[in-house]
Chain A
């Protein structure tokens, strides 16, 4: 069976959920071979094996942390040369897309980004994408070379499928030309203890209607009662009420949770682009004309400062 390279997204060997989704999708088109760059490959390999990685190609070099993107492209290319895969899958993060694009160019292949599904097809893998602010669904394939596809988080439910997951060391030579962009310093983001926005099953977002950073705890309290991630509209982020890393929308993060709750968000096209594929959509807004109500499964026309705390209390009571 053909092998499929899966680029592992991890923090010091702690594999992030989108990688398990990639392994699940990879099994539809071949045998997943995971590529782990950086420290703690052995720890990662256990989990990668549980989700179907037949082997884990591991390389660790200081250059991965010292320079931006390019050394990882060198490593992925080495893995490509070692395996001759039928496809290469990467997460649709900023870095995943950049690595994928540069690899595609080097190996003479096409690239598809932001796939929400990948299936086997007669002429190679078929990728589903959601485009034009999620108003269209397209099916595309790569016509030249080995398909390189980046996949959005939450595109598949990770399925366990135990495989060997044996670690093999991958020899990587980082080219001098790949050491152009130095990472001078790195400040890890402080963990809020909440789920990662793009991976969360439930997202509670606040917008202009939250009316100040000091009011965001109202949104956070509802999120915490539901075990949800917190999002924010661009208006709230631009006003400085919430960090940009939590922005949902075209220029922020695109989310596709089971449940999306929008509080005080009118639903401009740029916001809808980032959340329209959510399974169930709920909105709370004072303005009954707000375009967000065109999308909802359930909407409450009312003041979020009345509705959200009441909902939070009710959730807590019901959860006991």
Chain B
């Protein structure tokens, strides 16, 4: 019996670009290039490693997002995933984390799964709540924030490095996993992988396919509202000195002046 792995990925604005809000206080996506969230590359990598260790497994990449989000799917497919599902619908604009978790959960159920793998957080919203929300919605164990993960004999095990302790976790499949950037470098797509990705199937779904009403998602359906977004004023230029033997002393003088010493 094949192990069905679904990896949830997000197409995000490039963090090195100049990110802004649009007039409706959602993220302005026209203003900056998008890409596969770097933290989701780790999820794809771990899914590939789990597949390689399994006798028989299949990886489906799932995303919710605008047409351009297809780029994120292609990247993941070129790394070695087998197929993809793209949930796209105009009514999804402005959907918050709770709404996104609803759409993903319905799409995951429709696709069928034994294991869901996510990144620890998106690199834009950085909430880090989606894996927990998916576990709650799907009523399966959450095995999250893992720096090490493996799957064998119908069980997922992994290590979660917390603030005060490091924990070894174990859960029976089906389960939702999230992995951190400590789980292992993500591989680069090979030329062969990139060529192969062009032929891999991408299924397109909309809200109707998932039996979700428009008012359950989108800006109207959001459970939170941004009332105001203000660009932080650039920091005023500070004092910069060149160390010519006195740099440490000068810095101490500054810190003493600020009452830090």
A contact residues vs B (CB 8 Å cutoff) = 11, 68-70, 73, 93-95, 97-102, 104-106, 109-114, 126, 130-145, 177, 180-189, 196, 202, 226, 234, 244-245, 250-251, 258-259, 269-270, 273, 280-282, 284, 288, 293-303, 306-315, 318-319
B167 touches A186 (CB 8 A): yes
The residues of A that contact B124 with a CB separation of less than 8 Å are: 132
Report yes or no: B172 in contact with A95, Cβ–Cβ below 8 A: no
A310 contacts B235, CB within 8 Å?
no
Are the CB atoms of B165 and A189 closer together than 8 Å? yes
A-B pairs with beta carbons under 8 Å apart, 30 shown? A69-B132, A93-B162, A98-B144, A101-B133, A102-B135, A110-B98, A110-B222, A110-B224, A134-B232, A135-B232, A136-B231, A136-B232, A137-B229, A139-B229, A140-B224, A141-B227, A180-B171, A202-B260, A226-B260, A226-B261, A244-B182, A250-B15, A282-B251, A299-B238, A302-B243, A310-B247, A311-B249, A311-B251, A312-B248, A319-B261
In the assembled complex, the Cα of A180 lies from the Cα of B171 at a distance in Å of: 6
Contact pattern, B 201-233, Cβ under 8 Å of A = 1, otherwise 0: 000000000000000000000111111111110
Cα separation A320 to B198 with both chains bound (whole Å): 68
What 1/0 mask marks residues of chain B from 145 to 167 whose CB sits below 8 Å from any chain A CB?
10100000000010011111111
- Give complex CA distance A318, B143 in Å: 50
Residues of A within 8 A of B22 (CB): none
Q: CB distance B228 to A138 under 8 Å?
A: yes
Contacts of B247 in A (CB 8 A): 284, 300-302, 306-307, 310
Residues of A within 8 A of B2 (CB): none
For the complex, what is the distance from the CA of A308 to the CA of B181, rounded to whole Å?
30
B73 within 8 A of A: no
A309 touches B239 (CB 8 A): no
Inter-subunit contact B168/A314 (CB<8 Å):
no
Q: Let me know if B190 is at the binding interface, CB within 8 A.
A: no
User: Shortest distance in angstroms between A288's beta carbon and chain B's nearest beta carbon?
Assistant: 8
In the bound complex, do residue B223 and residue A110 qualify as a contact, i.e. CB atoms below 8 Å apart? Answer: yes
- Would B127 and A97 count as touching, CB distance under 8 A? yes
Check B141 for interface membership: any CB of A closer than 8 A: yes
B162-A94 in contact (CB<8A): yes
Number of A-B contacts (CB under 8 A): 262
Are B98 and A104 in contact, with the CB atoms below 8 A?
yes
Count of residues in B whose CB is under 8 Å from the partner chain:
81
Are the C-beta atoms of B165 and A188 separated by less than 8 Å? Answer: yes
A284 in contact with B142 (CB, 8 Å): no
- Measured between beta carbons, the chain B residues less than 8 angstroms from A99 are 132
User: Is B137 positioned at the interface, with any CB of A under 8 Å from its CB?
Assistant: yes
Whether the pair B239, A299 counts as a contact (CB closer than 8 A) is: yes
Given known pairs A95-B162, A140-B226, A142-B224, the reply for A101 and B169 (CB within 8 Å) is: no
Give the shortest distance, in Å, between A44 (CB) and chain B (any CB).
15
Closest to B132 in A: A98
Complexed CA–CA distance, A140 and B144 (Å): 27
Question: B180 on the interface (CB 8 Å rule)?
Answer: yes
Q: Is B120 an interface residue (CB 8 A)?
A: yes
Contact B238–A298 (Cβ < 8 Å)? yes
Query: Could you tell me the distance between the alpha carbons of A144 and B97 in the complex, rounded to whole angstroms?
Result: 14
- CB contacts (< 8 Å) of A114 on chain B: these are 126-127
Q: How far is the CA of A104 from the CA of B25 in the complex (A)?
A: 23
CB distance from B253 to the nearest CB of A (A): 8
Q: Does B29 contact A (CB under 8 A)?
A: no
Given contacts A138-B25, A181-B169, A184-B157, list 19 more A-B pairs with CB under 8 A.
Answer: A69-B132, A94-B162, A99-B132, A101-B97, A111-B129, A133-B15, A133-B19, A137-B230, A140-B226, A143-B223, A182-B171, A187-B167, A189-B165, A202-B260, A251-B121, A259-B260, A284-B251, A298-B238, A300-B247
* B contact residues around A311 at 8 Å (CB): 248-249, 251-252
Q: Is B66 on the interface with A (CB-CB < 8 A)?
A: no
Q: Which residues of A contact B127 (CB under 8 A)?
A: 97, 101, 113-114
B136 beta carbon closer than 8 Å to chain A: yes
Is the CB of B170 closer than 8 A to any CB of chain A?
yes
Q: Assess whether B98 is in contact with A299, with CB atoms less than 8 Å apart.
A: no
Say if the beta carbon of B110 comes within 8 Å of chain A.
no
Contact B223 A251 (CB under 8 A): no
B165 contacts A105, C-beta separation under 8 Å: no
In the bound complex, residues from chain A placing their C-beta under 8 Å from that of B162 are: 93-95, 189
Report chain B residues within 8 Å CB of A100: 129
- Distance in angstroms from A30 CB to nearest chain B CB is 20
State whether A280 and B132 are in contact (beta carbons under 8 Å apart), knowing that A181-B171, A187-B165, A311-B248 are contacts in the complex.
Answer: no
> B136 contacts which chain A residues (CB < 8 A)?
73, 101-102, 105-106
Q: With A105-B98, A309-B248, A311-B251 in contact, do A140 and B225 touch (Cβ < 8 Å)?
A: yes
Interface string of B11-27 (1 = CB under 8 A from A): 00001100101000100
Q: A100: nearest residue on chain B (CB-CB)? A: B129
The yes or no answer to B58 lying at the interface (CB within 8 A) is no
Q: How far is the CA of A93 from the CA of B165 in the complex (A)?
A: 13
Closest 3 CB pairs of A and B: A310-B248, A302-B243, A110-B223
Q: How far is the CA of A143 from the CA of B25 in the complex (A)?
A: 15
Shortest B261–chain A CB gap in Å is 5
Q: Whole-angstrom distance from the CB of B238 to the nearest CB of chain A?
A: 4
Q: A97-B128, A245-B161, A251-B39 are in contact. Are A180 and B238 (CB under 8 A)?
A: no
